[in-house]
Amino acid sequence: MCLVFVCDEEERVMAQQPAPGSCPYCGGTVMATDVESAWRFCFLPLCFRIKRRYHCALCSRRLVTYLKSPY
């Protein structure tokens, strides 16, 4: 008898809006996308996370923000 456990990550776009600034590669507008990800283990939801991702509207590159430390 063999038991197979399936782990899966499902992502769903919740909202998309323009963000301040411009793309450092092409100068296009930056878009902020809110993505909800759900980890599933045998069809049972384990964890829900909401992430904000940034990308350029013209060249479609994913952009990363660097936060300055207050110390």
Residue 8 confidence (pLDDT): 72
Q: For residue 24, is it within any domain?
A: yes
Position 50 in a domain: yes
pTM for this entry: 0.70
- pLDDT, one tens digit for every residue, the chain (71 residues): 444 555 677 889 999 999 999 999 999 999 999 999 887 777 677 778 889 999 999 999 999 988 765 65
**Does residue 16 lie within any of the structural domains?**
yes
Q: Tell me how many domains the chain contains.
A: 1
* Dihedral class, residue 27 (left if φ above 0, else alpha if ψ from -120 to 50, else beta): left
In a domain, 32, yes or no: yes
Owning domain of residue 52: 7-61
Residue 36 covered by a domain: yes
Whether 1 is covered by a domain: the verdict is no
The closest of 39, 25, 4 to 55, measured between CA atoms, is: 25
pLDDT of residue 49: 87
Q: What is the pLDDT of residue 19?
A: 93
Burial of residue 64 (CB within 10 Å: 0-12, 13-18, 19+) is: exposed
